[in-house]
Structure 1
Amino acid sequence: MTSLLTGLSRLNRGLERMLHLVLLALLMGFIVLIIYQIVSRNLPILPRLYWTEEFSRFAFQWMIMLGTAIGVYHADHFVLEAFPRGTRPDMATRLFRDLACLAVGVIFIYYGKDFAISGLRRKATASKLPMIYVYSVFVTSGVFIVLFSLERLLYTALHGMNAMEKALNTPNELDEIAHIDDDRLDTIEKRTTP
């Protein structure tokens, strides 16, 4: 099991680096297309390219879905903490969160497949781009979400929830402050105990 986790972790780290580059390219393309749209509306010498609006929208959709997958990997999505940290109900809700993310990834793959295939019969209005390139974003995002959720769940099974979150979650400022306060309390207690 440990070798499976190691392999999955290496795969996911490589995929995450690739996703960061893809997201950076999409963001740069999105910005360039939006700037061109603004400038071409105000300068009559530039042709109005209607496909730029479509492509900027498509890039935005891909950025959202791929960014969501990275958010699942590091638990950067919205989380409601209803129970005191470290209690059984808190641990159960955190485990449920990762299981729910896995389920959403599976749903994206299962239903997104048919949705992507339906894009073979449709074309974008201005650019005539086959819509499969846009509709396949759900399947792609679903695959990343499943891989990232599986690593989180496997890590939890082998090392526990707290170790997994320490290794994979984006550091939370409140947790760091609480940790600093705990260290200060320990120091104060050591000084006051004879």
Structure 2
Amino acid sequence: MLGKYLDQFCVGLRILLGVLMGALAVPVAMQVLSRYTGIIPTFLWTEELATFLFIWIVMIGSVVAVWDGTHFDVRITRDFKSPFLVLVQNGIVHLAIMIFGALFLYYGIEYAEFGGKQRSVMMRANLMITHISVPIAGGLWLLLSGYRLSQDISKYLGRKGALT
């Protein structure tokens, strides 16, 4: 049951990623047009907006990658055939993502508070807009990797799913 909700949540994140990518095209196109053609005047806020959008795209994309299992991991051993060793190998990856998620969540809260005290140079936007993406992504990495780990353990134990 939880897996179904998490899957739908990630579908929503994919849609949001598409919208953000489309939105990113606007300020980048304005930058290119102003810099190389002179058709429109140079707007300095477009670079800040593009940076803000890019930060959110990266953080949301990392959450989707954790859910899909496509987030990069480094295998220092060969892929095992033994179900137990596969569980250990995948469990180490999930635990590493969960540890980093917990660190991003814990320290990201302070980072977001720090951003809340600042404003961007051109747009005068509160920098919490981008800084808050760090603890949000960390919390979601923690949740999604924990769910995937519970799935792997349940699969190893021969059940359908621990939280399904």
Provide the TM-score with structure 1 as the length reference: 0.74
Overall identity of the aligned pairs, in %: 23
Q: Residue 31 of structure 2 contacts residue 46 of structure 2 at CA under 8 Å; is this kept in 1?
A: yes
Corresponding residue for 1:62?
56
Task: Report the secondary structure of 1:124's partner residue.
Answer: coil
* Number of residue equivalences: 158
Of residues 7, 15, 22 in structure 1, which corresponds to 2:9?
Answer: 15
- Counterpart of 2:148 in 1: which secondary structure? helix
* Equivalent residue number for residue 86 of structure 1: 81
Pair 1:32 & 2:26 matched? yes
Structure 1 residues 57 and 163: alpha-carbon distance in aligned structure 2, compared to 1, 3 A threshold: farther
User: Which one has the bigger helix percentage?
Assistant: 1
Q: CA deviation at 1:106?
A: 1.1
Cα distance, 1:79 vs structure 2? 2.9
How many angstroms does 1:115 deviate by? Answer: 0.4
Query: Which whole-Å CA distance do the structure 2 matches of 1:161 and 1:52 have between them?
Result: 53
Indicate the residue corresponding to 1:122 in structure 2: 118
Conserved in 1, the CA contact under 8 Å of 2:87 and 2:153? no
Q: Shift in Å at residue 85 of structure 1?
A: 2.4
Q: CA deviation at 1:74?
A: 1.6
Q: Which of 108, 113, 116 in structure 1 is aligned with 2:109?
A: 113
> In the alignment, residue 101 of structure 2 is paired with which amino acid?
G
CA deviations 1:12-45 (Å, max 9, x no partner) are 1121011111111111111121111111223445
Q: Using structure 2 for the length normalisation, give the TM-score.
A: 0.86
Corresponding residue number in structure 1 for 2:137: 141
Kindly name which structure, 1 or 2, has the bigger radius of gyration based on alpha carbons. Answer: 1
Q: Distance in 2 between matches of 1:89 and 1:158?
A: 14
Equivalent AA in structure 2 for residue 46 of structure 1: I
- Say whether the 8 Å CA contact 1:156–1:163 is kept in structure 2: no
- Return 5+ residue gaps in structure 1 as ranges: 1-5, 165-194
State the partner residue of 1:103.
Answer: 99
Task: Report the alpha carbon displacement of residue 90 of structure 1 after superposing the two structures with TM.
Answer: 4.4
